Structure 1
Amino acid sequence: MSYVNNIRMFVRVYELGNMSAAARDQRTSPAVASARISELEKHLGVRLFNRTTRSLQATENGRIFFDGARKILDSIDEAEAAVMDVTQNPRGTIFVAAPLGIGRRLIAPHVPMFKDLYPQIEVRLRLSDRSIDVVSEGIDVAFHLGLLDDSTLKVQLIADCPRLLCAAPSYIERRGMPLDGAQLVAERHDCLNLRFPGAKEFQWTLETPEGPRRFEISGPYESDDGDVLTGWALDGRGIVMKPIFDVADHLRAGRLVPVATATPPLPTQLSSLSQHRRLKDPKVRLFTEFMAGKIKEEMRRATLG
C-alpha cells in the first residue's frame, strides 16, 4: 500500500498546493509528505513538483500524472466501498464539517451513538461558521445552513428551517418593540450581525405584504460565531436573526421573544453537501443518512407549536 499512499499524498499536495496542508490532511508530518513525493518521483523517473522554500508548483509531468492518479484513487475507493457494502462492515475515517451552532446542537450529540453502531468508523468533526471548501479541505460531508443557488456538489435537503427575529425582554423594555422591518430600520434598533472577513454591508431579507424586501440593518455588535450573537441577545444587547430550532428553548422559557413579527425573515434550509464520488462510499452514506434522521427528530422537538 506504500505506493498507493504515495499517490494519495501526491494528489492532496496537488489539490491543496501546499505540502504542509497536505501533510495535515493526511495526518502526517511535512517531512513524511515530502519523502513520499520524492519516493514517487524516483519511481516514475520524473519531477512532479518544482519546489522552493517559498513555493510549490506542479510540473507538466505532474499535471499529466494527476489526472490518472485521481482516477486510480477513485477506482480503489469505489472497489473498497463495494467490498465493505457487501460485507456490511464499513470502516475508515469520515471528515465532517458543520457550522458551529448546527454542529454543537444537532451533530455532535449523536456522533457517539453513530460510533457505537459502527465502531470501525472514525468521525473527525470540524466546526466553523466560515465558508468551507469541501473539495480542497478533503471533507466527506458538510452540513450547510442556507440556500444554495448552484453547486457542483451533491446536495441533499434535510429540512426547511423557519427563522425569526428575537430579542431579550430587557432589550424590548429599553428600546421598545419593533413591529416590522421598516420600524426596525427607522428607529435604528441594535441588530446583532453575523459577519465574516470581506462581508458586505448587512441586509436582512424579510417577508412583507408586497413580497420579500431587503432592509439595511446596523448595530454595535458583530461576530463570526452565531452562538456569540445568541449570548449577546440573551444579555439584552440587541436583536438577532435565528432559525427557530436554534433558540426554541430560550423562546419557550421567555428568555427571548419574537420581534418585528409583521415581517418575518424568509425561511432557510439545512442540507448536506458531498462530492458525488464520496457518496458511493458506504460509510459516508451511512453517516449522512443517520444524521439526517437525527436532525429531523431534533427539528420536530424544537417546533414552537
Structure 2
Amino acid sequence: MSYFDNIKTFVRVFELGSMSAAARDQRISPAVASARISQLEDHLNVRLFQRTTRMLTPTEQGKLFYPGACRILETIEEAEALVSSVTLKPRGSIHVSAPLGIGRRLVAPAVPDFKKQFPLIDVRMRLSDRKLDVAAEGLDVAFFLGVPEDSNLRIRKIADCRRVLCASPSYIETHGEPENGEALAGPDHACLNLRYPGAPEFQWPLQTEDGVKRFAVSGPFESDDGDVLTDWALHGHGIILKPEFEVLHYLRTGQLVPILTQTPPIPIQMACLYSHRRRQDPKIRLFIDFIAGHIRTVLAEQEKEQQTD
C-alpha cells in the first residue's frame, strides 16, 4: 500500500469520524482502511486515533498531522491538474452531489455524454435532498437550489428556476383551491414540506400585488425526499411548492393543477458550489461548464414548450 493512499485514508477517517464510512467513501473494505491507518501509524511511530468498540477519535498527534496531510493531497491534486491542462487530457474522479430532483432530471442524464467527451474522467454522484457539508463529504461539486450558507466556497450560478404551487384535481375537488396566501397558510389546507435536520422553517414566498410575501405553511406530512412529496400530491394528500421542471410532466398530463397563478411563487436560484482550491482543476471546470450548459438548454426548451402549449 502506498504512503499516498495511507494519507488519503487517514484524511477521510479524520473527516468522517468512522473507519467504515471512510472505507465506503474510498471504495475499499474496512479491513484495508484499518491496515492503511496502522501502516501510517507505524511509519510515524505515533497513535493517530483512539479506538474503542463504539468510538474513534483523533489523538493530539492525529490533530497535528491532519492539516499537513491535507496540504500534501492538495499539492498532488494541483500538480495533476497542471499536467492535465498541459496534455489536454484531464483525468481523475469527480465527486458530485445534487438534490434528488436536479440530480435525476437535469444532471444525471448529461453524465454519460460528458463521459463520452472526456473518457478519462469518472463521475461519482450522490443524490440527496439533505444538506451536505461539501468539505466533510469530500465533494468536488455540489449542485443546489436556493442560497447557500457557506461563504467559504465559490458559487457558480446556473439559472433562475421558475416554481409552481400545485395539487391534484382530487385534492382541489375535496378541499377547494386557496384564494390567496393567507388561505394557503390557513387550517383548511395541507402543504407538503421538505424536512431534514437543520432545515429552515417553512415559509413559501409568493409574488403579490404588494411585493413578495412569505407565508408560514404547515401540513400533516413531511419528508426529506422531494419525490415523496410529489407522490403524495399526486395522490391528493396536499399542495406542493416545486421547481417547474420537476413537475412539468404532471402539469401537462393534468395529474397536477397549478394554483394561485395570480400570486406565483418567486423563482429560485440553481447553482453549484466548489472549493477555492479546485478552481484551477481543468476537470472540475469542464464538468461544471458542461452540466451548466446542459441544464440551461433543457430549461430553455421547457420554457419554449410551455409558451407554445
TM-score with structure 2 setting the length? 0.91
Give the structure 1 partner of residue 156 of structure 2.
Answer: 156
Give the structure 2 partner of residue 143 of structure 1.
Answer: 143
Q: After superposition, what is the alpha-carbon deviation per residue over 1:274-302, rounded to whole angstroms, capped at 9, x for unaligned? A: 12222322222211111011011111122
Give the structure 1 partner of residue 124 of structure 2.
Answer: 124
My pick for the range that moved more, 119-128 or 250-259, is: 250-259
Q: Retained in 1: the 8 A contact 2:175–2:188?
A: no
- Counterparts of 1:92-131 in structure 2 under 5 Å? 92-131=92-131
Q: Retained in 2: the 8 A contact 1:244–1:302?
A: no
* Residue identity matched to 2:236: G
The DSSP-based 3-state class of the residue aligned with 1:160 is strand
Deviation at 1:251, TM superposition (A): 2.2
* Residue identity matched to 1:209: E
Q: Distance in 2 between matches of 1:257 and 1:140?
A: 38
Give the structure 2 partner of residue 56 of structure 1.
Answer: 56
Q: Retained in 1: the 8 A contact 2:165–2:239?
A: yes
The list of structure 1 runs, each at least 4 consecutive aligned residues, that deviate by more than 6 angstroms after superposition, is: none
Instruction: Note the residue ranges of structure 1 that are not aligned, 5 or more in a row.
Output: none
- Counterparts of 1:262-273 in structure 2 under 5 Å? 262-273=262-273
Q: Retained in 2: the 8 A contact 1:97–1:139?
A: yes
Deviation at 1:238, TM superposition (A): 2.0
- How many residue pairs align between the two structures? 305
Q: After superposition, what is the alpha-carbon deviation per residue over 1:113-145, rounded to whole angstroms, capped at 9, x for unaligned? A: 111111221111111111111111111111101
Q: Distance in 2 between matches of 1:52 and 1:220?
A: 42
Q: Distance in 2 between matches of 1:208 and 1:248?
A: 23
- Counterparts of 1:62-101 in structure 2 under 5 Å? 62-101=62-101
Give the structure 1 partner of residue 251 of structure 2.
Answer: 251
- Counterparts of 1:9-28 in structure 2 under 5 Å? 9-28=9-28
My pick for the range that moved more, 100-109 or 203-212, is: 203-212
* Residue identity matched to 2:109: P
Q: After superposition, what is the alpha-carbon deviation per residue over 1:45-94, rounded to whole angstroms, capped at 9, x for unaligned? A: 22222222222222222222222221111111100111011111122221
Deviation at 1:150, TM superposition (A): 4.4
Deviation at 1:95, TM superposition (A): 1.3
Instruction: Note the residue ranges of structure 2 that are not aligned, 5 or more in a row.
Output: none
Give the structure 2 partner of residue 166 of structure 1.
Answer: 166
RMSD: 1.9
* Residue identity matched to 1:155: I
My pick for the range that moved more, 118-127 or 167-176, is: 167-176
Deviation at 1:16, TM superposition (A): 1.8
TM-score with structure 1 setting the length? 0.93
Q: Retained in 2: the 8 A contact 1:179–1:262?
A: no
Give the structure 2 partner of residue 195 of structure 1.
Answer: 195
Q: Percent identity?
A: 61
Give the structure 2 partner of residue 34 of structure 1.
Answer: 34
